[in-house]
Amino acid sequence: MARKKRKPPLTEKASARPARPRKRRQPTAPAPPALPFDQELLQLARSAAGTLQRAFLAVLVLAAIGGIAAGLWMLRPIPTFSSEDVAAGSPFDATFQVKNRNSWLGLANLKISCVLAQVRASPISPTMVDPTMVDATNVRFAGKQANGLEPGESGTFTCPFQVALTPTKDDPGIAQRAEIYFRSEYDLPLIGSLRLTDNSARFSLNTRLLPPRWTSKPNG
C-alpha cells in the first residue's frame, strides 16, 4: 500500500498572524419608562404657569412705562389765554394775554398763531368763512426769555384779523357771530429737538358788550 504524505508543519510566519478581534455590539440603552398621566399633566401645568408668569411680567413692565409716560405728559406746560383786559377797540384787532401756569417747566421758543374759526356778519348776507390762521404780532413776553415763558410768567400779543376780514374791516361792529382760538407751538421740555402743538379753547364774540369782546367758550 502507498503511504500518505504528511502535510508540512506550519511555518512561523503563518502562525504569527494576529487574530482580528471581533467587534462587540454595544448594548442599546433601554427606553425610559413612560411618565404616568398625572405627572404629564403636572409638567404641562408648570410650563403653562411659567408662560403666563412671563406674559404677566411683560404686561406689568409695559403698564409701568405707560404710566410714567402719561404722568410726564400730564405735567407738560400748556399755555393759557385770556382777553379779560380787552375793553376797547376793534375785537378783530384786540390784544390777548398768554400765561404759563406750570410751576416747574417753561415754554421755550413759543410761537402763537391766531385762528379765525368762523364769522357771520350783517348787513352782508350771512356767510361762513373758512378757518383763517394768522401769526400773532406785537408779541411781548414779560420775563427773562425773549422767545418763551418761564413758569408763572405771562405775555401779550395781537391777532391781526382785520386783514383777513375784508367785508368787515371798515365797521367791525357789524359782525354778529365769530369764533377764534389760538394755536401754540413750543419745545418739549428737556428734549428741545421735539416740538409740541396745542390748540386752546375757543373764544366767541360777545356782542352784548359794548364794545364787543371775546369771551371764553365752555368746552363741549
C-alpha to C-alpha distance for 79 and 100, rounded to whole angstroms: 5
- pLDDT at position 91, please? 79
Residue 141 inside a domain? The answer is: yes
Please check the confidence at residue 64 and state whether its pLDDT lies above 50.
yes
170 with 181: CB under 8 angstroms? Answer: no
> Ranked by mean pLDDT, which of 26-30, 97-101, 132-136 comes out on top?
97-101
- Domain count within the chain: 1
Q: What is the pLDDT of residues 182-213, one digit of tens each?
A: 999 999 887 767 899 999 999 998 888 777 78
Residue 54's pLDDT band, with cuts at 50, 70 and 90, is confident
Q: What percent of the chain has pLDDT over 90?
A: 24
CA distances from 135 to 83, 98, 197, 208, 209 (A): 17, 14, 14, 28, 27
Q: What does the radius of gyration of the chain's CA atoms come to, in whole angstroms?
A: 44
Q: Which residues span the domain enclosing 154?
A: 79-216
Residue 23 inside a domain? The answer is: no
Considering Cα of 216, then 93, then 179, then 148, what sign does the dihedral take?
negative
Residue 120 inside a domain? The answer is: yes
Q: State the chain's mean pLDDT as an integer.
A: 77
Residue 44 inside a domain? The answer is: no
Residue 171's pLDDT band, with cuts at 50, 70 and 90, is very low
Residue 113 inside a domain? The answer is: yes
Please check the confidence at residue 111 and state whether its pLDDT lies above 90.
yes
Please check the confidence at residue 95 and state whether its pLDDT lies above 80.
yes
CA torsion angle 73 84 134 76 (round to 10): -10
Please check the confidence at residue 99 and state whether its pLDDT lies above 90.
yes
Q: Shortest CA distance to 148 belongs to which of 196, 181, 115, 114?
A: 196
The domain that holds 120 is classified in CATH as 2.60.40
Please check the confidence at residue 168 and state whether its pLDDT lies above 50.
no
Q: What is the pLDDT of residues 134-162, one digit of tens each?
A: 899 999 998 777 889 999 999 999 988 87
- Looking at per-residue confidence, does 183 or 165 come out higher? 183
Residues 6+ apart with CB under 8 A from 74: none
